[in-house]
Structure 1
Amino acid sequence: MDFSNTLEVSADGMRAQAERLRVAAENLANKDTTGSKPGADPYRRKTITFKESLDHASGTSTVKIKEIGHDNSPFETRYDPSHPAADSKGYVKVSNVNSMVEIMDTHEAQHSYEANLNTMQITRSMLTRTINLMK
């Protein structure tokens, strides 16, 4: 594998983790979103799925985003009869976003992003040293 392939693999990893971070941030931002009328569904947590992508020309395997989907787990309910989205019994559907899960996803995405960034920095350093040797 040459250096350009290494940089491409790391860049794809960084793009994937940046998108993962964006999805987690969107989930956290909408955690308290409810429906606007009785019985309406609140914000549904988004999920992200990755896939392996093989570049046959170079023989490298990188990560790509397969799908941004939705978490189909059930909504919880909260008793709040004064809320505009409360049903006849006074319950409001609340989002299925779990803050702890999203925070853990952001930490994991950050660590993976940093690992790919470190790989790029090491590759750049090796390229620079090789060029300096050729002078």
Structure 2
Amino acid sequence: MAEFSDALRVLSSGMRSQGQRLRHISENVANADTPGYRRKVIDFVEMVQDGRRSGMVAPGDVRLDRTEPRRVHDPSHPMAGEDGFYDGSNVEIVTELADAREAQRSYEANLKMFEQVRRMSTSLMDILKR
């Protein structure tokens, strides 16, 4: 039975991490038109327990994408310089949509495996009760 609980822990860590990733992606999309906004990127780190690889992951540190922001020409904007340009955000909506789709599918795959492990565990318990 320990294998089932270990599998559930690994799968739930993946779902939590992808959920965190989706939150950052949604913040990026919401701020795509905010002047000076830098895209947030999150990496996953593998968790170690008792000096061994556990298979679980956790969200790592949030870092800001160092890509240069778009230069926007709008002389009437309050942040525009004398040349009429200001720094927009460095968020690319297409990239965010692709990242969101990847995170969503990874979350769904973990969820399906979670449900499968839970069903297998329940079936095993039913067999052992007989």
Count of residues in Structure 1 that have an aligned counterpart in Structure 2: 128
Match of 1:71 among 65, 85, 94: 65
Alignment partner of 1:89: what SS? coil
Task: Work out whether 1:91 is the aligned partner of 2:85.
Answer: yes
Cα separation, 2, equivalents of 1:17 and 1:11: 10
The structure whose residues are more often helix, as a share, is 2
Cα separation, 1, equivalents of 2:91 and 2:52: 40
Residue of structure 2 in register with 1:30 after alignment: 31
> Does the CA contact (< 8 Å) of 2:33 and 2:88 recur in 1?
yes
Residue of structure 2 in register with 1:5 after alignment: 6
Counting aligned pairs with the same residue, the percent is 40
* CA displacement at 1:56 relative to structure 2: 2.9
Runs of 4+ off more than 6 Å: none
Q: 1:59 to 1:23 in 2, by over 3 A?
A: closer
* CA displacement at 1:59 relative to structure 2: 5.7
**What TM-score, normalized to structure 1?**
0.90
Stretch moving more, 55-64 or 114-123:
55-64
Amino acid at match of 1:89: D
Cα separation, 2, equivalents of 1:117 and 1:57: 27
Residue of structure 1 in register with 2:18 after alignment: 17
Q: 5+ unaligned residues in a row in structure 2: which ranges?
A: none
Cα separation, 1, equivalents of 2:102 and 2:49: 26
Q: 5+ unaligned residues in a row in structure 1: which ranges?
A: 35-41
**What TM-score, normalized to structure 2?**
0.93
Amino acid at match of 1:6: A
Q: 1:59 to 1:20 in 2, by over 3 A?
A: closer
